Amino acid sequence: MSGPSSASDTPITDGRQLAEVMASGEKPRADWRIGTEHEKFGFRMDDLRPPTFEGERGIEALLNGLTRFGWQPYQEHGRTIALTKGMASVTLEPAGQLELSGAPLPTIHDTCKEVGSHLREVREVADELGLGFLGMGFQPKWRREDMPWMPKDRYKIMRAYMPKVGNLGLDMMTRTCTVQVNLDYASEADMVKKFRVSLALQPIATALFADSPFTEGRPNGYLSYRSHIWTDTDPGRTGMLDFVFEDGFGYQRYVDYLLDVPMYFSHRDGIYHDASGKSFRDFLQGKLDVLPGALPTLRDWNDHMTTAFPEVRLKKFLEMRGADSGPWSRICALPAFWVGLLYDDAALDAAWDLVKDFTLAERHALRDGVPRQALGLPFRGGTVQDLAREAVKIAAAGLRRRACADGCGSDEAGFLDPLVEIAESGKTPAERKLALFRGEWNGSVDPVFCEFSY
């Protein structure tokens, strides 16, 4: 989840400014970049419990330790809650899940180096504090009540509001981790095509990356429980956005959607004003009762854009949101998958051919069925595994045509190797962990913290 926006405090006096924010993200192909984000669970090595914010072994101590690598602290009420370095940041999810929001980089080689450097830095500081970090989609051991809360004002507002609109919102906040990638577009038409392809294929990514089969130490009946949680978090700001596939979809239609998403807050003068459930449309007319007479600014609009949580999110770029977090190799595989599909014209055309005749009912069946069955979900006489094989094949061809080589001459297609293996075998990371749980782990999830930590 994002921190305060860095957008300007320019008042919004014309509704066209809202769509212009998205249009301002348009870039020529030569300037397209890759921004990779991933979250991970911290745990204390001695008892596997999540670290609190405070204390000698707390999350704040970890953040302060990372400043030795040139990260600059960002504070709220005198407490370090985030770090920045150039265009990258390290932030905290509500229960202290540590997130790297990477800089916009030209190749997957660059983004994977960035991820590797970050994980080495975290490991150095974490070792000194007796902490470890794990990449999975859902906290495998601890109850919601066992999870700490970070002292961020926006999370206090969301914590109070979530139970009013869904049953699993607090679990989303405290017990999930994801890996995401942010990608550019050249024009409104390019955005529309990429949005439609990525939204239709998002369940395929969820299936390939499914890695959240445990809840409170036991199998939960899902392969991506993280994905299931989003179905009962807040229907006003989540889902598959059927209107994206309608004729005439573009920036303005997405603005109309966002204006119907209930607000969380307005951040001004260092204070988060609780506007949970309020209307941004009222705000535009100076009728927000918590800020009487005040008009929103572009900063408010940028903040509001981050509080919608559909499967694919539009800001000044497109954000792919369907994957469970995982190990280093799969963090690099996610941008490889989507860059291969969306940044090469032939691949984008092939991906559109794959999904363009999906019906609304089929798109929802994929979204609803994948959390439990992942690659085994039946689809059109075959399974999601068949779709996954084809999507990975298209992505690999796109990456080879991009021909972005590292110093050894290797292109980016190698980063797809973990997904090739999953798609061919039909065995998700979740299913492999379930087999270990039922076998050599003897019905315990505790070994996951050792065997799969960074």
Half-sphere exposure of 376 (CA within 13 A, CB side): 11
**At residue 36, does pLDDT exceed 80?**
yes
d(CA 438, CA 213): 12
Give the rounded percent of residues in the chain with a pLDDT score beyond 90. 97
Band (4; pLDDT cuts 50, 70, 90): very low
CATH annotation of 16-451: 3.30.590.20
d(CA 9, CA 349): 40
- Nearest CA-CA partner of 98 in 78, 121, 130: 121
Q: What is the pLDDT of residue 267?
A: 94
Q: What is the pLDDT of residue 198?
A: 98
Helix (H) or strand (E) run with residue 41 in it: strand 34-44
Residue type, 45: M
- pLDDT tens digits for 226-246? 999 999 999 999 999 999 999
**At residue 94, does pLDDT exceed 70?**
yes
Domain ranges of the chain: 16-451
